[in-house]
Structure 1
Amino acid sequence: MALTHLLILALIQGVTEFLPISSSGHLILLPNLTGLTDQGQALDVAVHVGTLVAVVLYFWSDVKVVTTGVGRLARGRIDTQGAFWALCLLIATIPVVLCGLALKLSGYNDVLRSTAVIGWTMLIFGVVLYWADQSGPTVKKAANWSIKDAAIMGLWQALALIPGTSRSGITITAGRQLGYDRESAARLAMLMSIPTILASGTLLGVEVAQEANMAILRDAAIAAVFAFLAALAALTLMMRLLKSVSFTPYVIYRVVLGVILLIIAYT
């Protein structure tokens, strides 16, 4: 694949994965609107690996706490913050994994990959994000995360399987509606992305492992590195801006893009 195409793909995935504007929707729109060839599952896995490394690195202190708690949780001991957060992440991940498998086995995941669907989800869930951000109270911090809230956010996260919804956007929406402040809602949404990206990346990786060759591996490595750099930059910028800026700029982008896509789809 041409280097320019790889860079575009990596930048789109890296920048949009953690911003509430839908990475999957943008990746589907790339071939739909430009005529470029679909990047294929191998590169999908590669850019997801890049963004996964970025979020793990950025939230390393939290990831380390959760990682140390996984072993205790496996032994049935939930006596540390790490073990409790590991349990919350497990509960929050179950809905998206089950719904993702159901969509894949039924074939409906391909049906949803259309410009019209992405246009509607961009528009609708952009408005929902604005509503939650403006009306949601700010009485909870990430440290207040509970099993009940993890389950609710997990159910909302399953909606992100519809292209254009945005996994980070819908989980941030849920967090704000549950009363978490903007930074805490984003922090929890990013932590929830780690097992979700791992699950989807593993599933896709198993499928493409048989087809891998040196050319694909080279392209995948390039895409992963640039996706990592773009994701780390976008994540750092968003988390800093949330100290003083609401989610409204992302909402405006979603609404404008959604309207444009609907015009394209229906004319």
Structure 2
Amino acid sequence: MALRGTADRVRRSACAAVLASGAVLLAACGGTSGSAHDEAAGPGAVSPAAATEEAPEPTPAPAEEPGGTTASDDLAGRLLPAEAFGADAEVVGLDGGHPGHDGWHGGWGWGGHDDGDGDDEADHDGRLDEITVTPSACGDLLQALPMPSEDAADPAVAAQAAHTDAVQSWQVVAEALELEGLALPVEELVAACSSVTVDGPGGWDTTVQLAQVQVPAVGADSGALQVTVAGWGREMTALVGVAVDGRRGMLLAQTAEPGDPAPDAAAFATLFEQAGAAAFG
């Protein structure tokens, strides 16, 4: 089913959303290719251009810590228990090593943010140069969001996805030096990007509506967004909450099927608070 098929995409993009919550918006802007499979992929979907490219080579498995466990294994204990998503939820652990490819800088979070000039190196502006965001103030803000250096180490990550008849949910807990002291620009994103039109290569275009979602305070800094994406004759709404505390970050996202009502904001806020308690408690 589509839930299992999206595991790699979620792992590639979700941590970038933790690192810079603005990546959620641009991933949504470039993330709908028009197929039901891709539209169900949620906030980690790749752009139409990137969807046609060959999958990257797998990265080596993270080094084991003393005792035979990895940091990612330890973080798995910070995920919500399966029953938190509902008695009828199908919960899938998104394991399998590093969440991305070519480190943090290559292919994470920007909906196809990868090798733009064919030189086998990840380019910061590879796909962004081919995308026009209106109003320009929103594009300027997205370009200014912090990105890790090319030599930044891959984070430790634990992630899971849950499917019910009503919503699909994703949760990621990550640890990285770059997360320490990170301020989430939620209010700035809403101010600059509340209504956005995105035009991409090949003539595709998408509209995005962005609104702040009220959630309990979690960790040292937290916030949540409602992102509604319309394109290719379909519309989908996602709720995305991000929290950071020290070197640890947590992301929780929910989407409904295209055309269905948005996920319940009050239920999402409750789940976000529970996820924060598990991640940072």
Q: State the TM bucket, normalised to the shorter chain.
A: under 0.3
Normalized per residue, which structure has more helix? 1
Structure number with greater CO (CA < 8 Å, separation at least 6) is 1
TM superposition score normalised by structure 1: 0.28
Which structure has the larger Rg? Answer: 1
